[in-house]
Amino acid sequence: MKKTTITALCLLSLNVWADLDRDITQPIRIGITDNTGSEMGLSFIQPNEHGWNLKRKGAEVSLEKFGETNDEGKQIEGYIIRLDSPVEPLENYMAQIKKNTYQGYKNTRFNIKNFDVKPDPNHARCVRMHLLLEDRKPVRTVDHDQKKYSEQYTLSCGLEKHKGMGVELRLYDRYYEQNKDVKLAEVANTLFDSIVIDDK
C-alpha cells in the first residue's frame, strides 16, 4: 500500500485534524476533511505509557520512543494510503499485501522470519499483519554477534465511501535479540482495538 499526501487526495480546501491535548488517555486523530464535510482518517489511543514523542506531518502522525541503545526503539505511524487492490474480497486484498511485502523485501538486507495476515475481528474492511524481519548483517560485539530485528504489527483498512483509499496504523519495534519486548503483540492488539475509523 502507498502512503499519500494531502495534495494528492483532493483539490478542495482541506483541514488537517490536529490534537492540542497530549493527555495520553485521549484519542489521537489523523486524517482530512474537506469543505463539504467529507472525512477520512482514524483515531487511536496510544499505549498507556509515557516516553512517546508525537510528531505530525500533514495528515500523518508518528510517535517515537527510545530503546535500550541508540539504534533500537519503537515507533507508531498512522497515515492515509492509496490501495493497490480493492479491499473486497478481503482474501484478494490479503494476497496482494503478501505479494507486495515479499517483493518489497526481496534482495534487501532483511530476511523475513515470519509474516502473518488475517482479517481484523473488529472491522470487516481491515486486516491485521505481523511481520518479523531479521537483519542479515549481525552486529559484532567484543564477545559475540548480536542479531538485530525489526518487528511490525499493522492494521490496514480500505475505506467504503472513499473508493481506492484506506488508512493504516503501524507499530514498529527495532531491537537486538536480548532486548525483545515479549508484550509487543499485546500492545499492538490493544492499540488496534482502540481504533475508530472516519469514513464519511
Q: Given this model, what pLDDT does residue 171 score?
A: 98
Cell numbers for 132: 518479523
* pLDDT tens track for 38-61: 889 999 999 988 889 999 988 899
Judged against a pLDDT cut of 50, whether residue 196 lies above it is answered with yes
* pLDDT tens track for 15-25: 444 444 467 88
- Counting residues of the chain whose pLDDT is more than 90, the rounded percentage is 65
Q: Given this model, what pLDDT does residue 1 score?
A: 59
Q: Given this model, what pLDDT does residue 39 score?
A: 87
Print burial letters for 182-198: b (CB count within 10 Å at least 16), e (below 16): eebeebbeebbebbebb
Q: Given this model, what pLDDT does residue 58 score?
A: 84
Q: Given this model, what pLDDT does residue 2 score?
A: 57
At the second CATH level, the architecture of 2-199 is Sandwich (2.60)
Q: How confident is the model at residue 31 (pLDDT cuts 50, 70, 90)?
A: confident
Rounded to two decimals, the pTM is 0.85
Q: Round the average pLDDT of the chain to a whole number and report it.
A: 86
In sign, the C-alpha dihedral spanning 131, 76, 24, 34 is: negative
Cβ atoms 77, 61 nearer than 8 A: yes
Q: What's the rounded Cα separation, in Å, for the pair 80 and 82?
A: 7
Q: Given this model, what pLDDT does residue 36 score?
A: 80
Q: Given this model, what pLDDT does residue 142 score?
A: 58
Judged against a pLDDT cut of 60, whether residue 75 lies above it is answered with yes
Cell numbers for 152: 511490525
Domain ranges in the chain?
2-199
Q: Given this model, what pLDDT does residue 13 score?
A: 34
* pLDDT tens track for 76-115: 999 999 998 999 999 999 999 999 999 999 989 999 999 9
What mean pLDDT do residues 7-20 have?
A: 39
